[in-house]
A = this chain, B = another copy of it.
Amino acid sequence: MTLDGFLERHGGWLEAGPEEGPVISSRVRLARNLRETTFPGWASKEVRNRVWNEVVLAFDGVPGSKGFLRWRMDELSALDRELLFERHLISRELAERQTGSGVFVNEDECRAVMVNEEDHIRLQSLQPGMNLQKAWEAADELDNALEQGLSYAFSSKLGYLTACPSNVGTGLRASVMLHLPGLVLTEEIKPVINAVSKIGLAVRGLWGEGSEASGHMFQISNQVTLGRPEAEIIAHLDQIVLEVIEHEKNARLRLMSTQEIRVHDHVGRAYGILANAALMTTGEGLDLLSALRMGADLGLLPKIPRREIDRLFIRIHPAHLQKEAGVALSPEERDIKRSQLIRKFLENK
């Protein structure tokens, strides 16, 4: 049950996908709870352990469950929990929980089920590029299979019951991770975010709630989960995100037609620093990789595949670097390792 294998591979949601220029990935998560069982935040250790055991039992009955790895948080080191967080497989909140909390992850990392997070079950489905529909279908399929062995808390009036009222109803949060450097550089990002917020969608950073938009990454998701069917929520998000993608593409075209030399300068400098620095923080790395990614998108760096940059976005994080080194590293040691990793990646490119 080691996590070492993670270092040699990447999530299947970082394979080629639709609209993968401005889009990293599409995600659907479902919140579910067991009937007549205290929510994890209020439950005793006994109850949390019982929930874990019930979910394990149900999971073993799910077709294809052999393809899932599983870990309890209390058997993982802090570093391994951080590694799962950096790979977007568990939330910060789950990483900090212990008794009865854990996660199931299928081998291509496109589906994961957290147990005893804020809700008893948080089921996530990821797809590369712009593909909310497929993410939804995969989530729905796993949810239905799990429900064969579990009895969910459900009200015919409200829908699925959840620990936080904001998730009651469908328990669905759909989101798309977008890379929007064009809108940032043209300073059009704020009006776009404002417009998106006004129609009931949320915009967050790379790591979800409360995180900043490092590397010009923005997550757009639905806020409302109650009173609308899942298909409608997804269709609405899909439509709005496609509009944001159009804005981003237009911003890039405009940059290239009116300020081409500045774009070359921006991308060239990012490449030059990444390829030659000997110390690099995560934040600077993300911002420079963002510029590099835009350069790859615009055809300025034909030898650097965009999706390989996306994988670096994850590999330069602290837990990944330390896992690879096999020892705990000080912040300066990480800054050295990070710059080495990036330089090696860019060598001969």
Contacts and interface: CB of A to CB of B under 8 A. Distances in A.
Interface of A: 261-262, 264-265, 268-269, 271-279, 332, 336, 339
Nearest to A279: B265
Given A262-B278, A269-B277, 17 more contacts: A261-B278, A261-B332, A261-B336, A262-B279, A265-B277, A265-B278, A265-B279, A265-B339, A268-B278, A269-B272, A269-B276, A272-B272, A272-B273, A272-B274, A272-B276, A272-B277, A273-B273
Contact of A275 (B262, B272, B332): B272
Given A261-B336, A336-B261, A273 B277 contact: no
Contacts of A269: 272-273, 276-277
A265 to B, nearest CB: 4
B276 A271 contact: yes
Contacts of A264: 278
Copies of this chain: 2
A298 to B, nearest CB: 13
Contacts of A332: 261
Nearest to A332: B261
A277 B274 CA distance: 13
Closest 9 CB pairs of A and B: A272-B272, A272-B276, A268-B276, A265-B278, A264-B278, A265-B279, A272-B273, A269-B277, A271-B276
Contacts of A278: 261-262, 264-265, 268
A18 B279 CA distance: 34
Nearest to A339: B265
Nearest to A275: B272
A348 to B, nearest CB: 15
A339 B276 CA distance: 18
Contacts of A279: 261-262, 265
Contacts of A268: 276-278
A336 B274 CA distance: 22
